[in-house]
Homo-oligomer: A and B are copies of this chain.
Amino acid sequence: MTAPVRIALDAMGGDHGPETVLAGAEISLWRHPDTSFVLYGDEERVTNVLKSHPKLAAVSRIVHTDVVVGMDDKPSQALRRGRYKSSMWRAIDAVKLKEADVAVSAGNTGALMAMANFNLRTMPGISRPAIAAIWPTLRGESVVLDVGASIGATAKSLVEMAIMGSAMARVLFDLEAPTVGLLNVGVEEIKGVEEVKEAARILREEVVGVNYRGFVEGNDIGAGTVDVVVTEGFSGNIALKTAEGTAKQLGSYLRAAMGRTWRARIGYLLARDAFRVLREKMDPRRANGGVFLGLNGIVIKSHGGTDAEGFAAAVDLAYDMVRNELLARIEKSLVGRQPQVVAVSRPQAAGVEGQS
């Protein structure tokens, strides 16, 4: 038997605090009994909540922290106030100290990324971290990155994202050679920003082992045209939020239409199993959890406003990433491909090859 997956939880993160975090962890524990938890947060409050979760209590230990990073704290403020002592920092630090395999927080994204980046540092060969989202598509699911770790991207960092996203898709979807596309405003090679065009050239000509398929557009994400969609964080975040908004909008149209007439209401009742399936497919909680990629450790960001079911999905994701050795696979992918990438953007840095 393999060792349990050790998950560090920021028990104070998110809009609803320990109640949601612990309830979510217990749901996930039912699905993956080979998990143990370290809960960082206010000891009294966490202990109290834990009383209603005896199953979770049996595999958890609490580490008391005084400081909570606020949902509206700026990253710099969070670092200043929360470094070394906040529940968020300590959960990340557990990963660094190898006391946990992965950290999960529903706290504010900017602060979490700043702390994770500051404490774990980027992997050798990676210029900066990215946040990867799992996107439900017509053909299953795709990995989309970066959905908001940083704004703008060089050709080099887009290529790194293609490599990391491929590794994640391999782990997550059990694919040999996941297909990769660069998000652009047109499928013709003539369009788009210089960085995206240069990244396309590098992926086509110089990177081995990434199954690069060319440019994709916004509508290709939901269609599932490729398994991995790569873009910089501004447009990636806007794409993600726009899709969420559109789904909400159409759900609301549907509800209104089904309540319009008696016939429609009866029709709705008859078809309610079908609507339940549809609702589940559209449930944003199912795809909850952004994966921070490119750091020396895995950190998962849950939506701050999610409920226990949604937080459980983020914990499931954390479990999967560890169980399937995401980090080792990314490292392996980078070692295999790094020389080509480095040769392009920093031809003078020949020593980097020796980093493995």
Across the two chains, which residue of chain B brings its CB closest to A239? B242
Which residues of chain B have C-beta atoms less than 8 A from A271's C-beta?
A: 257-258, 263-264, 266-268, 271
Within 8 A of B (CB), among A276-327: 277-278, 281-282
Contact of A151 among B137, B185, B281 (CB under 8 A): B185
Evaluate contact between B241 and A218: CB separation under 8 angstroms.
Answer: yes
Evaluate contact between B193 and A152: CB separation under 8 angstroms.
Answer: yes
Which residues of chain B have C-beta atoms less than 8 A from A239's C-beta?
A: 218, 238-239, 242
**Main SS at interface, chain A:** helix
Which residues of chain B have C-beta atoms less than 8 A from A186's C-beta?
A: 110
Is A190 interfacial (CB 8 A cutoff)? yes
Which residues of chain B have C-beta atoms less than 8 A from A231's C-beta?
A: 238
Which residues of chain B have C-beta atoms less than 8 A from A254's C-beta?
A: 254, 278
Evaluate contact between B274 and A234: CB separation under 8 angstroms.
Answer: no
Is A181 interfacial (CB 8 A cutoff)? no
Is A107 interfacial (CB 8 A cutoff)? no
How many copies of the chain does the oligomer comprise? Answer: 2
Contact of A237 among B185, B268, B270, B281 (CB under 8 A): B185
C-alpha spacing A244/B273, complex, angstroms: 27
Across the two chains, which residue of chain B brings its CB closest to A144? B242
Across the two chains, which residue of chain B brings its CB closest to A219? B245
Stretch at the interface among A55-63, A98-106, A220-228: A220-228
Which residues of chain B have C-beta atoms less than 8 A from A261's C-beta?
A: 273-274
Among A74, A247, A272, chain B packs the most CB atoms within 10 A around the CB of A247
Contact of A222 among B190, B238, B249 (CB under 8 A): B249
Within 8 A of B (CB), among A171-204: 183, 185-186, 188, 190-193
A108–chain B nearest beta-carbon distance, Å? 9
With an 8 Å Cβ cutoff, the count of chain A residues facing the other chain is 64
C-alpha spacing A258/B268, complex, angstroms: 10
Contact of A249 among B138, B237, B240 (CB under 8 A): B138
A272–chain B nearest beta-carbon distance, Å? 8
Evaluate contact between A274 and B260: CB separation under 8 angstroms.
Answer: yes
Which residues of chain B have C-beta atoms less than 8 A from A257's C-beta?
A: 271, 274-275, 277-278, 281
Is A250 interfacial (CB 8 A cutoff)? yes
Evaluate contact between A190 and B244: CB separation under 8 angstroms.
Answer: no
Across the two chains, which residue of chain B brings its CB closest to A75? B190
Evaluate contact between B110 and A191: CB separation under 8 angstroms.
Answer: yes
User: Top 8 A-B pairs ranked by shortest CB distance?
Assistant: A218-B241, A267-B271, A219-B245, A267-B270, A218-B242, A222-B245, A264-B274, A222-B249
* Additional pairs, 13, CB under 8 Å, beyond known A218-B243, A219-B244, A266-B271: A110-B186, A110-B191, A151-B192, A185-B234, A217-B241, A238-B238, A253-B281, A257-B275, A258-B274, A263-B271, A264-B270, A266-B270, A267-B267
Q: List 20 A-B contacts (CB under 8 A).
A: A72-B188, A110-B186, A138-B249, A148-B185, A151-B192, A185-B234, A193-B234, A238-B238, A242-B242, A243-B243, A247-B250, A254-B278, A257-B274, A257-B277, A257-B278, A260-B274, A261-B274, A263-B273, A267-B270, A268-B271
